[in-house]
Structure 1
Amino acid sequence: MPETIPLTADAFDYEAALEACARGERFALNALYQREARWLLGVAQRIVGDRDHAHDVLQDAFLQIWQKAASYQRSLGSARGWIYTVVRHRALDLARRSGREVSIGDDLEALSDARQADEHGPAGPDTTALDRCLDALDERKRDCIVCAFVEGYTHEQIATKLSTPVGTVKSWIRRGLLALKECLS
């Protein structure tokens, strides 16, 4: 069994790393940790509001990633997205248990922190384009898209958070996605 994950200067095979974790190959978890821990810590810290608790979240999340790697399903999204979702959910669980209210602004700042945390180089061109296009969106549309597609909130949960009718939230998401598609093409 190889002890490397296919890697180039710009690409890391997250799916291969998760598959190796599912087989019990510890080097793969270490590779994921080395690649993403700094960014994931920023996401967790923004959500829980405390660096020590963020470290706890990160430790728990990597344990869950190790134990549940086999449950990752390619058809439901990217491997990297799955990893970030595990960390976000662990952080949100801790925030809820501790009574901390997490606002949509905190979620957006966590994403921004994660994008900027990599000290080894700038984000790839796709991320830069997406950031530019997201920044160009109306704030309400951007918030709804981030809540729905990054944080995994339902339309109803977003409507409740924003004190806005569900139909309006759906419209903002649809219009925002159309604007993103146009901007990215």
Structure 2
Amino acid sequence: MPHDITKLIVRTSLKDRTAFDLLYRQTNAKLFGVCLRVLNDRGEAEDALQEVFVKIWMKADRFTVSDLSPISWLVAIARNHAIDRIRARRRPVQDIDTALDIADPAPGPEAMALAGGEKQRIEHCLGELEEDRAQAVRGAYLTGESYGELAERHGVPLNTMKTWLRRSLMKLRECLER
């Protein structure tokens, strides 16, 4: 069944409505359970579930076939969305005078120096990648381009782009761990 769900997610990333409908039918009960467990309110869980499936439709192209099971990926989306709903309703309204007690969120000199050093290390490691791979990593993780957009820009199939990014991240990790 996980293999079937993987295929449905991939087909959904290609905007296949039939696959999306089947994915919904096979997973909505489990994802509803996740939303209900987090939100503890049936009506809100139903609303959240619909929003979760909108996210799945919109972000299916970000799913990568990996060690993570496809159902785990779907559950993570549902769980995170439900938690976001809880956080959104918890935002307290505070008196404007409390803003005077808030610390400056800007990083201090030490944090800036450390960040500068990290940036140099990351740029060095990106420089060790092939140029098109480095551009793809920057596009995906710095400017938020989707896998589909990157694949189109670089003229490669979607799965090739996912492979580029996965392998590039492994090389970056190896470089940064040296």
TM-score (norm 1): 0.46
TM-score (norm 2): 0.48
Bigger helix share: 2
